[in-house]
Amino acid sequence: MTATEIAHNTFGIVLAGGRGSRLMQLTDWRSKPAVPFGGKFRIIDFTLSNCVNSGIRRIGVATQYKAQSLIQHLQRGWSFLDGRFHEFIDILPAQQQISEDWYRGTADAVFQNLDLIRRNRPRYVLVLSGDHIYKMNYARMLAEHADRQADFSVACIDVPRLEATEFGVMHVDEQQRVAAFVEKPKDPPAIPGRPDRALASMGVYVFNADFLFEQLIRDHDEPKSSHDFGKDLIPHCVDRYRVFAHNFVDSCVGMDETRIPYWRDAGTIDAYWEANMELTKVTPELNLYDDDWPIWTHQEQLPPAKFVFDDDGRRGMAVDSLVSGGDIISGALVRHSLLFSRVHVHSHAEIEDSVILPDVHIGRHAKLRRVVMDKHCRVPEGLQIGYDREADRKRFHVSDNGVTLVTPEMLGQQAHHIR
């Protein structure tokens, strides 16, 4: 079976129900996969684009926490797949079809949708997290899985050992067969010969379909299980079945000559700010200008960005920045920042090292530095944020690294709760 045939015989299920509580108030009204990223995208667009670009066109998206924003985005931006060719993205909210429980864990979210998966009669099932930012050719992982005659494959990436406490960590033998798996260990085991690195699970799994069905039913019937892939299903399978690790280096798309694959969790305000700021570099690690591996999304019909006034002390300009459609920079300075769509920056305002989400108005003479500003904020004239950390803490959320999160509620303004 060719790689194309394998992809066509695969059903992808994206787990997109998590809140992402470490993003603080940025996920008060949306799930983490629905959080805007990179000027025009949502985080989930990267996983879904990987599927479509890899030839996987039968996809289910399991939603749960405050899903309206995510559902709206999927309906508007991901309706281009053609059902006449058996291509689709199905939205799978927790419907209590099997019991009165909502999704109780990652494995349970898949178990509750077994009927849908079976109806499509796939040979392989690709289970994915919807809240990571990366570009990956899943077809390569699928081909390797089939070639190894594996029951179950786990994509992995090596990370600093001291940062691996937030991941599932694997130990593999010379054939890349997983010999041990520990979920979020306090003292992560190191890669042999590399004491400062650990092999972490990316939350990307390939299963033989029949094997997955058997394991999910067994796990569902286990009263002591928390019904989670990392905590329960993977540890059970490692000692009993053919479980292999797939190295992300072998399927990462767009790596530079350093051969360091790009993968970001962006699970905290600091990590989210840093991942967006990286895109303002002359040559960012994540290439959004790759015609061979496009990131698909909902494309609003907006006018071009506009820069007005060229007077001394009142010059509309943006330097080392990403500026989106519908933006108006009116006699203001934007430096080393990322602006989403429909942002209006009024005269004499200054924005530096900041991430400004859609539909934000920044008043005259306002100054922002190291800010993440949520949608629909209206910044009053002359307000300064990011210059006095103690003053900012009284009104806003200030991260450990000094990034200030601002929402409409913090500004005492009415918010649009579908974000």
What does the pLDDT read at residue 98? 59
Instruction: Answer yes or no: is 238 within a domain.
Output: yes
CATH code for the domain in which residue 395 is found: 2.160.10.10
Half-sphere exposure of 418 toward its Cβ, with a 13 Å CA cutoff? Answer: 6
Q: Do 312 and 261 fall into the same domain?
A: no
Instruction: Answer yes or no: is 288 within a domain.
Output: no
Q: Do 332 and 252 fall into the same domain?
A: no
Instruction: Answer yes or no: is 419 within a domain.
Output: no
Q: Do 231 and 141 fall into the same domain?
A: yes
Q: pLDDT tens, 334-350?
A: 999 999 999 999 999 99
What is the DSSP track for 372-385? Answer: EE-TT-EEPTT-EE
What does the pLDDT read at residue 258? 73
Q: Are 254 and 290 in contact (CB under 8 A)?
A: yes
Q: Are 197 and 159 in contact (CB under 8 A)?
A: yes
Backbone angles phi, psi at 119, to 5 degrees: -60, -30
Q: Do 84 and 148 fall into the same domain?
A: yes
Measure the CA–CA gap between 146 and 149, rounded to whole angstroms: 5
What does the pLDDT read at residue 414? 74
CA distances from 408 to 216, 329, 359 (A): 43, 21, 11
Instruction: Answer yes or no: is 312 within a domain.
Output: yes
| Residue partners of 209: CB distance under 8 A and separation at least 6 | 11, 117, 122, 123, 124, 125
CATH code for the domain in which residue 204 is found: 3.90.550.10
Q: Do 191 and 314 fall into the same domain?
A: no
Q: Are 308 and 289 in contact (CB under 8 A)?
A: no
Count up the domains in the chain and report the number.
2
Measure the CA–CA gap between 37 and 130, rounded to whole angstroms: 13
Q: Do 269 and 155 fall into the same domain?
A: yes
Q: Do 193 and 311 fall into the same domain?
A: no
What does the pLDDT read at residue 77? 95
Q: Do 253 and 376 fall into the same domain?
A: no
Q: Do 136 and 269 fall into the same domain?
A: yes
Whole domain around residue 272: which residue ranges?
3-278
What does the pLDDT read at residue 14? 97
Instruction: Answer yes or no: is 414 within a domain.
Output: no
| Residue partners of 326: CB distance under 8 A and separation at least 6 | 300, 302, 303, 305, 341, 342, 343
Each of the 419 residues of the chain gets a pLDDT tens digit; together they read 888 899 999 999 999 988 888 899 999 999 999 999 999 999 999 999 999 999 999 999 999 888 899 999 999 999 998 888 889 999 998 765 555 566 878 999 999 999 999 999 999 999 999 999 999 999 999 999 999 999 999 999 999 999 999 899 999 998 999 999 999 999 998 998 899 999 999 999 999 999 999 999 999 999 899 999 999 999 999 999 999 999 999 999 988 777 789 999 999 999 999 999 999 999 999 999 999 999 999 989 999 999 999 999 899 999 999 999 999 999 999 999 999 999 999 999 999 999 999 999 999 999 999 999 999 999 999 999 999 999 999 999 999 999 999 999 999 987 766 56
For the CA atoms of 346, 350, 355, 359, the dihedral, rounded to the nearest 10 degrees, stands at -10
**Conformational region of residue 24, where left means phi above 0, alpha means psi within -120 to 50, and beta covers everything else:** left
For the CA atoms of 225, 229, 233, 236, the dihedral, rounded to the nearest 10 degrees, stands at -110
What does the pLDDT read at residue 419? 64
What does the pLDDT read at residue 406? 98
What does the pLDDT read at residue 97? 59
| Residue partners of 154: CB distance under 8 A and separation at least 6 | 170, 178, 181, 201, 202, 204, 205, 234, 243, 244, 245, 246
What does the pLDDT read at residue 101? 64
Measure the CA–CA gap between 245 and 79, rounded to whole angstroms: 33
Q: Do 62 and 202 fall into the same domain?
A: yes
